[in-house]
Amino acid sequence: MTAPLQVNPGELRSAGSAFTGVADKLGSLDPGAALADAAAAVPGLKTAGACLTAKESVAQQMIAITSAARTYGGNLTSAADKYESTDQASGGNIAGVPMPGG
């Protein structure tokens, strides 16, 4: 038999905040700039075209990674909120049950 699930909403929020913070930092990066600079340095070579192609691919992947990190962070924070609201509602329901002999 497995142990019951225990959740620490504060830890979920902390992890969510970390992921959204990483997303913010990733969003401020411009990894394509180095590739554009490399392409500009060798305009007559096939390497320039490869750098420009890679620049577009890297930019698209960076957008996807940033979005995924931001979404995941938001989901963790939302899960923490839901765990707490469920616990509060359940506690209220339990408190409302009359005790025998009380």
Whether residue 2 lies inside any domain: the answer is no
Q: Are 28 and 75 in contact (CB under 8 A)?
A: no
Q: How confident is the model at residue 85 (pLDDT cuts 50, 70, 90)?
A: very high
Whether residue 23 lies inside any domain: the answer is yes
Please state the domain count of the chain.
1
User: Which residue segment(s) compose the domain that 63 sits in?
Assistant: 17-89
Q: Hunting for tokens 């401020």 — which residue is that?
A: 28
Q: What is the CA radius of gyration of the chain?
A: 24
Q: How confident is the model at residue 95 (pLDDT cuts 50, 70, 90)?
A: confident
Mean pLDDT throughout 69-77? Answer: 98
The model's pLDDT over 23-64, given as tens digits with 9 standing for 90+, comes to 999 999 998 999 999 999 999 999 999 999 999 999 999 999
Mean pLDDT across the chain: 93
The number of residues making up the chain comes to: 102
Whether residue 48 lies inside any domain: the answer is yes
Report pLDDT for 102: 62
Whether residue 3 lies inside any domain: the answer is no
Whether residue 100 lies inside any domain: the answer is no
